[in-house]
Structure 1
Amino acid sequence: MIDLKTPAEIERMHVTGRFVAEVLTEVGRLADVGVNLLDLEHHVRGMIKRRGAESCYWDYAPSFGRGPFRNVICLSVNDAVLHGLPHDYILRDGDVLSADLAVTIDGWAADSARTIIVGTPAEEDLRLIRATEDALEAAIQVARPGNRLGDISATIGAVAADYGYPVNTEFGGHGIGRTMHEELHVPNKGRAGRGMKLQPGLTLALEPWLARTTDRIVYDPDGWTIRSADGSRTAHSEHTIAITEDAPLVLTRREAENPATRTGTAQATENA
């Protein structure tokens, strides 16, 4: 069943979204050469506790994972792109770090992800990140009443194709609201004009993620961390949005992020 949200409920999700954005901004500020992923995890735990939020990841146990997830943020490095378990790894110059966070506040969820470069950026990594950001922004713009779910998927796939990157459809966007995952899977490739018609009140987490040279994935022995099958680098961008009568509302937009001026991409090199 699709749960359409009222304007008041969307505003409550927006409260959560602003906090998620704040945390991801802080992760981008702290991630630097010599920083341990476990230190980032513990810092985020403290922020969540102080805010009175609840992690959507802690004890999360879907069919594709191995046992309950016992961390509050996904941190994926280089060829790892999704569900990265924070572990004893010290960030190095040039690492590509994807951070994905979902929490609830007063029973309402928001989910967002960003990819940054630690230290010295490589142009090919910046381009990959930019592709996910562009795909996300383009998808947001078609998330309007009267369009269809397939229009979102087709838009993401088209941007990836323009950049020359392959697309995996096993993991993608999803409905979100009272829980992190609600009805509707939003693949990152599809056919325009297909799928359900978009309606005001629909809330979605859209998340283009790409690997540079493959659409195949492999799992780490931890049963969670997903990597590109050929070891090529990856990137992941995600926002929680609400479809309204007017323009789509991005509930997890970071303050310094401005797609019109590409400040979002500039954020990827804030540690350079």
Structure 2
Amino acid sequence: MAITLKNAQDIEMMRVACRLASEVLDFITPHIRAGITTGELDRLCHEYMVKEQGTVPAPLNYQPPGYPPYPKATCISVNDVICHGIPGEKVLKHGDALNIDVTVIKDGYFGDTSRMFIVGEGSILAKRLTQVTFECMWLGIRQVKPGAHLGDIGHAIQVHAEAQGYSVVREYCGHGIGQVFHEDPQILHYGRPGTGLELKAGMIFTIEPMINAGKRDIRTMPDQWTVKTRDRSLSAQWEHTVLVTDTGYDVLTVSAGTPKPPEFITQATAA
């Protein structure tokens, strides 16, 4: 696999693109409420990207081989949708759990991030799954440093998810990113420690675990994009874009409204 190590200029450009992606999620947060459609949320995000930020929504018309062009600016995945939910006429209701996944292009560089949201109070399950998935992402991020291996990231995520009785989706993974939307390496969210590619300073990739409340099996809808849990159980996902530094990691997808890391991360950093 051809890994692109980013230089200082690349990293600064990526820092800008990633912050802008995160700011789209800051912008849309107050609009997430019962009664709004996912299509309207997408329209608002699209307008903000183009008119306010001067960014390009990377998913719009994105077409990997064998797929139809993706028709919207964001992916919005509600309840049992694991990923790639196409925004449309679905009306949000109290208790819905949704992931909004944003990738922007700024001056040729891609910034990619996603967050979970719960409409209104939400069920105990939705809140717990959302929190555990957030912790999984951060446990994966915490493994990142030169000399560590990709398997360390996946192992940390898998162990935490399965200890809570949840399952890890295996068909989709994190990915290298820079001036290309998806590049090597692939970041699996399961695995064995000490296996896989060795991390080096200058790598930039996403960590984006998809965790199901039920079994890990998936089903793809006729639109060829929307992926749901086969058993119709709830699914959750969080995503950050991460830089491998000389001493550890730097999370690039950070803005004023980014949720703070879990306490166990901040305590470990302070220690």
What percentage of residue pairs aligned between the two structures are identical?
33
2:225 equivalent to 1:200: no
User: How far, CA to CA, are the matches of 2:150 and 2:97 in structure 1?
Assistant: 30
| Number of the residue aligned with 1:56 | 58
Tell me whether 17-26 or 248-257 shows the greater mean CA deviation. 248-257
User: How far, CA to CA, are the matches of 1:205 and 1:73 in structure 2?
Assistant: 17
How far is the alpha carbon of 1:22 from its aligned partner?
A: 0.8
How far is the alpha carbon of 1:261 from its aligned partner?
A: 4.6
* Alignment deviations for residues 48-95 of structure 1 (CA, whole Å, 9 cap, x no partner): 112111121111112463x10011100111101200000111110100
2:108 equivalent to 1:107: yes
Where 2:168 maps in the other structure, the secondary structure is coil
| Number of the residue aligned with 2:48 | 47
| Number of the residue aligned with 1:18 | 19
- Kept in 1, the 8 Å contact 2:34–2:92? The answer is yes
* Alignment deviations for residues 160-212 of structure 1 (CA, whole Å, 9 cap, x no partner): 11211111211011111111101111111011101111000000011011110
User: How far, CA to CA, are the matches of 1:58 and 1:212 in structure 2?
Assistant: 30
- Kept in 1, the 8 Å contact 2:17–2:106? The answer is yes
User: How far, CA to CA, are the matches of 1:202 and 1:233 in structure 2?
Assistant: 32
Give 4+ residue runs of structure 1 displaced > 6 Å after superposition. none
- Kept in 1, the 8 Å contact 2:150–2:188? The answer is no
Give me the CA root mean square deviation: 1.3
Where 1:2 maps in the other structure, the secondary structure is coil
User: How far, CA to CA, are the matches of 2:39 and 2:76 in structure 1?
Assistant: 9
- Kept in 1, the 8 Å contact 2:138–2:262? The answer is no
User: How far, CA to CA, are the matches of 1:26 and 1:119 in structure 2?
Assistant: 18
| Number of the residue aligned with 1:247 | 248
How far is the alpha carbon of 1:19 from its aligned partner?
A: 0.8
| Number of the residue aligned with 1:182 | 183
Give the letter for the 1:37 counterpart. Answer: T
| Number of the residue aligned with 2:140 | 139
User: How far, CA to CA, are the matches of 2:112 and 2:133 in structure 1?
Assistant: 16
Where 1:232 maps in the other structure, the secondary structure is coil
User: How far, CA to CA, are the matches of 1:153 and 1:260 in structure 2?
Assistant: 18
Specify whether residues 165 and 63 from structure 1 end up closer, same or farther in structure 2 by C-alpha distance, changes over 3 A only.
Answer: farther
How far is the alpha carbon of 1:27 from its aligned partner?
A: 2.2
User: How far, CA to CA, are the matches of 2:65 and 2:207 in structure 1?
Assistant: 21
- Kept in 1, the 8 Å contact 2:35–2:92? The answer is yes
Specify whether residues 208 and 64 from structure 1 end up closer, same or farther in structure 2 by C-alpha distance, changes over 3 A only.
Answer: farther
User: How far, CA to CA, are the matches of 1:174 and 1:38 in structure 2?
Assistant: 27
How far is the alpha carbon of 1:7 from its aligned partner?
A: 2.4
Give the letter for the 1:181 counterpart. Answer: H
User: How far, CA to CA, are the matches of 1:216 and 1:125 in structure 2?
Assistant: 19
How far is the alpha carbon of 1:9 from its aligned partner?
A: 1.1
Give the letter for the 1:160 counterpart. Answer: A
2:177 equivalent to 1:164: no
2:228 equivalent to 1:227: yes
User: How far, CA to CA, are the matches of 1:57 and 1:215 in structure 2?
Assistant: 25
| Number of the residue aligned with 1:125 | 126
| Number of the residue aligned with 2:78 | 77
User: How far, CA to CA, are the matches of 1:150 and 1:218 in structure 2?
Assistant: 26
Give unpaired runs (5+ residues) of structure 1.
263-272
TM-score (norm 2): 0.93
* Alignment deviations for residues 22-57 of structure 1 (CA, whole Å, 9 cap, x no partner): 111222221101111111111111111121111211
How many residues are treated as equivalent by the alignment? 261
Where 2:219 maps in the other structure, the secondary structure is strand
Tell me whether 201-210 or 3-12 shows the greater mean CA deviation. 3-12
User: How far, CA to CA, are the matches of 2:65 and 2:129 in structure 1?
Assistant: 29
Give unpaired runs (5+ residues) of structure 2.
265-271
- Kept in 1, the 8 Å contact 2:151–2:196? The answer is yes
User: How far, CA to CA, are the matches of 1:238 and 1:168 in structure 2?
Assistant: 14
